[in-house]
């Protein structure tokens, strides 16, 4: 085995082991505090709700640990055992060239997708159903999966063709062109997502409550936020988890509230949540996240440039020298490497959340934001007593007790 292959296998194993260890810690922390609601929440959350949140945390950590172990075994199986015979099998039907490269990537994706279905089923109809979150029917689940798969094939197969064609035609500069094309594509998807992609899965209706709408529009005007409108998404057809977000770019931005969120919160709380979202916009967090994605994509293509070169990555694994094979290896390895980098991206994200909270507090005061956060924790069964290391590694949003403490303080 070459050094680089050994390093990639090691990263896969270490990343999975670390993930499982952190999930175990998170479960232990939830159990340790299961019998007592933290004092600052005693008025807002009952002991029963607190215990259910602990049980949900433990069950969810068990399922995701199993999946992390499975993912590591699968990654090692692909690189060490399956990729070579799969390539050989496809090469019997397809002559070496662009089509074979695309076929290898697509075949790996399809097999991966099918092998992950049991986990998706266990999550929706085991875990989420057991705690009363799941509302999706098996028919809806299958439809969503088929639509997602069809979209993937429609978008990704032609893109892979384009990538491998570019590689063949411009062997030196292809990676820079591919980088610029990816950035343009990402911007395009963000622009069409709210009006064309999201409606394939959910129904969006303009917000009907006129007095709430008037207050929201006044807030948007006050913040100088241009949008394509305020929408309610029928999230309750699939899950009772509540949320709100805005998506799109420029004037095509849409503000979306899950119907589940509107049902559970008072108008003041909803306006605070909207102000928080507008805080993200005001501080340029969307631009920052795009920049982060741009840096990652640039690094990815720089790595691919090296991986695709003759005698590049596949030969280090004793695999056929084909860009499709190289791409599978890079994507498999990058899942583990990105996992190990997640504390950094999550730290940036948590910092942005504190800023957005402070912005909302500046407009409506701290009380509606605090009660909204407590309700969101209660309704999503988020543990109020996370493990410190787990939260540092995985939480894209600061734990709610810390957010409330920050609202109380600054």
Residue numbers of the site for Zn ion (CB under 5 A)? 353, 356
Contacts 24+ apart (CB under 8 A), 331-338: 332/12, 332/75, 332/78, 332/79, 333/8, 333/11, 333/12, 333/75, 334/300, 334/303, 335/71, 335/75, 336/8, 336/11, 336/12, 336/14, 336/15, 336/16, 336/72, 336/75, 337/11, 337/15, 338/296
Contact 271, 368 (CB under 8 A): yes
Residues, the chain, total?
410
Q: In terms of CB distance, is 230 or 273 closer to Zn ion?
A: 273
- 135: phi > 0 → left, psi -120 to 50 → alpha, else beta; which? alpha
Put the strands of the sheet holding 254-258 in their side by side order. 204-206, 230-233, 254-258, 244-247
Quickly list DSSP for 19-58: HHHHHHHHHHHHHHTTT---GGGTTTS-HHHHHHHHHHHH
Give the nearer residue to Zn ion in terms of CB position, either 279 or 312: 279
160 vs 271 by CB, closer to Zn ion? 271
Residue 66: partners with Cβ closer than 8 Å, 6 or more residues away: 119
Active site residue 269: no
CB count within 10 Å of CB 249 equals 15
Q: Which is nearer to Zn ion, 353 or 387 (CB)?
A: 353
Strand ranges, E, within 252-340: 254-258
Residues in a beta bridge with 279: none
Q: Name the catalytic one among 277, 322, 353, 379.
A: 277
- Nearest distance in Å: CB 245, Zn ion: 8
Pairing of strands 244-247, 204-206: unpaired
Distance CA 111, CA 85 (A): 14
CA 65 to the chain's CA centroid: 17
Q: Minimum CB separation from Zn ion for residue 266, in Å? A: 19
- Active-site residue identified among 128, 357, 379, 387: 357
- Output 190 or 356, the one with its CB closest to Zn ion: 356
Q: Is 357 a catalytic residue?
A: yes
For 382, other C-beta atoms within 10 Å of its C-beta total 17
Kindly tell me which of 111 and 402 has the beta carbon lying closer to Zn ion: 402
| CB-based contact 258:231 (threshold 8 Å) | no
CB of 30 or CB of 190, closer to Zn ion? 190
Active site residues: 277, 357
């Amino acid at each position: 085995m070459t050094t680089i292959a050994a390093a990639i296998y090691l990263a896969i194993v270490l990343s999975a082991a670390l993930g499982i260890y952190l999930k175990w810690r998170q479960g232990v922390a939830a159990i340790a505090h299961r019998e007592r609601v933290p004092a600052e929440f005693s008025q807002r959350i009952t002991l029963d709700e607190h215990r259910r949140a602990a049980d949900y945390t433990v069950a969810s950590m068990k399922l995701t640990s199993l999946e992390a172990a499975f993912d590591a075994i699968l990654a090692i199986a692909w690189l060490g055992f399956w990729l070579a015979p799969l390539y050989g099998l496809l090469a019997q039907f397809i002559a070496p060239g662009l089509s074979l490269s695309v076929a290898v990537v697509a075949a790996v994706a399809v097999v991966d997708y099918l092998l992950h279905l049991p986990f998706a089923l266990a999550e929706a109809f085991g875990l989420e159903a057991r705690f009363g979150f799941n509302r999706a029917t098996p028919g809806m689940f299958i439809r969503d999966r088929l639509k997602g798969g069809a979209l993937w094939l429609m978008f990704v197969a032609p893109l892979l063709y384009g990538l491998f064609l570019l590689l063949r035609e411009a062997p030196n500069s292809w990676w820079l062109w591919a980088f610029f094309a990816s950035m343009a594509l990402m911007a395009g998807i963000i622009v069409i997502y709210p009006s064309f992609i999201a409606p394939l899965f959910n129904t969006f209706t303009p917000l009907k409550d006129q007095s709430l709408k008037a207050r929201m529009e006044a807030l948007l005007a006050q913040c100088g936020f241009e949008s394509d409108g305020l929408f309610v998404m029928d999230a309750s057809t699939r899950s009772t988890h509540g949320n709100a977000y805005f998506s799109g770019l420029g004037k095509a931005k849409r503000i979306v509230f899950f119907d589940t969120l509107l049902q559970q919160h008072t108008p003041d709380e909803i306006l605070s949540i909207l102000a928080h979202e507008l805080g993200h916009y005001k501080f340029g967090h969307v631009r920052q996240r795009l920049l982060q994605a741009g840096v990652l994509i640039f690094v990815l293509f720089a790595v691919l440039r090296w991986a695709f070169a003759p005698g590049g990555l596949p030969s280090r694994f004793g695999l056929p020298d084909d860009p499709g094979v190289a791409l599978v290896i890079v994507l498999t390895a990058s899942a583990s490497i990105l996992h190990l980098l997640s504390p950094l991206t999550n730290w940036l994200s948590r910092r942005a959340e504190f800023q957005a909270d402070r912005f909302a507090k500046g407009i409506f005061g701290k009380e509606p934001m605090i009660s909204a956060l407590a309700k969101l924790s209660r309704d999503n069964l988020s543990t109020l007593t996370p493990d410190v290391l787990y939260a540092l590694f995985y939480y894209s949003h600061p734990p709610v007790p810390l957010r409330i403490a920050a609202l109380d303080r600054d």
